Amino acid sequence: MNDKREITGWMMYDWANSAFSTTVGTALLGPYIEGLLRSSPEPLRLLGTVIEPGALYPFSVSISVVLQVLFLPLLGSIADYTSLKKRLLLAFAYTGAFFTILFYFVNGDMPALGPNGAALLGCLLFIVANLAFGAAIVFYNSFLPEIASPDRRDAVSSRGWALGYLGGGLLLLINLVMLTLMPDRQVLAVRLSLASAGVWWLVFTLLFPRPRLVQRAPARQRPPVNLFAHGVREVLDTFGELWRQYPMTLRYLLAYLIYNDGIQTVIVVSAAFASAELGVPQATLLILVLMIQFMAFGGALLFGYLAGRIGAKRAIMISLVLWSGVVIFAYAFLDNQLELFIMGAVLALVLGGSQALSRSLYSQMIPRQHEAKYFGFYEISERGTSWLGTAAFGLAVQLTGSQRIAIVTLIIFFVVGLILLSRVDVRRAIVESGNNPEGVIL
């Protein structure tokens, strides 16, 4: 445990995959899909209903996460019984990278599809890529308890998130240069930028996690029955375990799923919101996201330090208060680009810290040798994966036609999550799961 080479390889997967969540999920795909729909001479109709251009992408995110809810806990259960954790991580990473590269071919002039068909194809590619992204993260997160001792997990997790923001920000800077140098070919520049996220994801996965992560023997003896059938039974049993044996872990997980759903929705819809409500051009959006990426690098380290002083739970609660303030400001006061950048700076400080500490805190509350299974449940609301929040936002846009009105619905996720988190007894959760709270700041 605490092998520096393996920890570096693990952290660099954050560097590799963050390009997808940043360039694709946050900065470019949402506005690109919306632009395709707005350029169409006919509105998009699905099941007889006209779909608002600003609603399709959030709905696609929700669909991809519903699929994750169905599959990721099952994959986690299977991983605990086999020596496939590393292979599955790599396989899903390669799959997600491949489908991300295919974004290059999505454009409004596609034969027989047109802008509406191209938008639907882009959403389909995203659904598959995001499903693979989430599946890989299940196995990635489950390595954390194996490579870092309890007293080191907050720091290792925070540094991993920080590297992720740095890597995602670096590629976004390259994308910004590309868009700046191709002013007359913006659509091509966006397509190249989207595809570059897949290339980045693939290359750095091959360079770091593939040679450095160590596949250990399965934590548990393989059952003498079909693994899929046993995995389904394990998922159902895990709900029972959480309810009966680990009630505090369950309370924390519910709090996390709610407040992080709000965080992920803000990340997913922020670029499209700024474009639709303030008329912010594409290049300015990239500068904003770029600023957030690099400031989030420092924010993740800052909150890692803060957790070392006051504990991860208190640090997360502080971040949720700030998240609530960001949403209220966006709804009631945000009127120009200067205010947008000020709001982005505040968001950046809490973005990485709240998520990195949530991951490391959860790793303290789950039983040993069951990490992949429990992280399968955790991942259904991890980076880039929101289902209730994006569904609520998309529905609000569909009903009101206003993204500003829709954004205020997200305050519910932060307030409810904060209330639930305040009632989590961290020490009890650690002890109930069979872990030692010694050395953990509570």
Domains of the chain as residue ranges with CATH = 4-432 (1.20.1250.20)
The CA distance from 57 to 26, in Å, is: 11
> For helices 227-244 and 53-79, what crossing angle results, to 10°?
100
* pLDDT of the residue at 17: 96
pLDDT in tens, the chain (442 residues): 668 999 999 999 999 999 999 999 888 999 899 999 999 999 999 988 999 998 899 889 888 878 887 787 777 667 767 788 899 999 999 999 999 999 999 999 998 899 999 999 999 999 999 999 988 988 898 898 889 888 888 888 889 888 998 999 999 999 999 988 998 888 999 999 999 999 999 999 999 999 999 988 776 666 555 666 666 676 677 778 888 889 999 999 989 988 988 888 887 788 778 888 888 887 788 888 888 888 888 888 898 889 989 999 999 999 999 999 999 999 988 999 999 999 999 988 888 788 888 988 998 998 887 777 788 777 665 554 456 777 788 888 888 888 888 888 888 999 999 999 999 999 999 999 988 888 777 7
Residue 316 token pair: 């997360």
Record the pTM.
0.79
The CA distance from 254 to 260, in Å, is: 10
The CA distance from 330 to 38, in Å, is: 24
Q: How far is CA 23 from CA 161, 226, 239, 248, 309, in A?
A: 16, 40, 35, 36, 34
Burial of 72 (0-12, 13-18, 19+ CB in 10 A): buried
Torsion (CA) 168, 383, 247, 77 in degrees, nearest 10: -100
* pLDDT of the residue at 283: 79
Closest CA to 307 of 254, 363, 267: 363
* pLDDT of the residue at 384: 45
